[in-house]
Amino acid sequence: MRRRLLLMVPALLASLAAARAQGPNWIVDGAWVKPSLEGALNSVAYFTLVNRTGSADRLLAVTTPVAARAELHRDEMKDGVMAMRATGPLALAPGARVVLAPGGFYLMLIGLKQPLRPGDHFPVTLTFEHSAPLTVELPVLAGPPS
Ligand SMILES: [Cu+2]
């Protein structure tokens, strides 16, 4: 048993090296955060998330030091009224691309601890069901990046 474990180690190291060489398993693209309005405690962040891990996963939670909470929301018409609702965990099949953009999904930053001004940037950490947590830096911009 012991011998077998030892033999497995080089294979494991080789697969870790291969994984690293392949680059990021998740791609976060086109990120931007709306500047907070004067005195506002909330703002919204947008980005595109692409699953390049090769396996299905779920985005379970998002955290950031600049807000008390960060939740995935979606605006929906319900009984003729536009309302937002929390989406809960976001399932991403292998190769799936989820676009957070005005009019659809977005990341709601709730309880801002500081104003967000154009030119600022701050980290958010994405926690997945299977993948290691991913921390990315989001820029505060007056509008979508071109
Ligand atoms: Cu919302």
The tens digit of pLDDT for each residue in 85-144 reads: 999 999 999 999 999 999 899 999 999 999 999 999 999 999 999 999 999 999 999 999
What distance in Å separates the CA atoms of residue 59 and residue 88, rounded to the nearest whole number? 9
Rg (C-alpha) for the chain, rounded Å, is 19
Among 91, 92, 138, residue whose Cα is nearest residue 119? 138
Task: Please state the domain extents for the chain.
Answer: 24-139
Centroid of ligand 1 to alpha carbon of 18 (angstroms): 39
Is the pTM of the predicted complex or chain greater than 0.85? no
The CATH architecture one would assign to domain 24-139 is: Sandwich (2.60)
What distance in Å separates the CA atoms of residue 110 and residue 58, rounded to the nearest whole number? 22
Centroid of ligand 1 to alpha carbon of 89 (angstroms): 15
Centroid of ligand 1 to alpha carbon of 136 (angstroms): 21
Centroid of ligand 1 to alpha carbon of 144 (angstroms): 18
Q: For the stretch 29-49, what's the b/e string if a residue is b when 16 or more beta carbons lie within 10 angstroms of its beta carbon? A: eebbbbbbeeeeeebbbbbeb
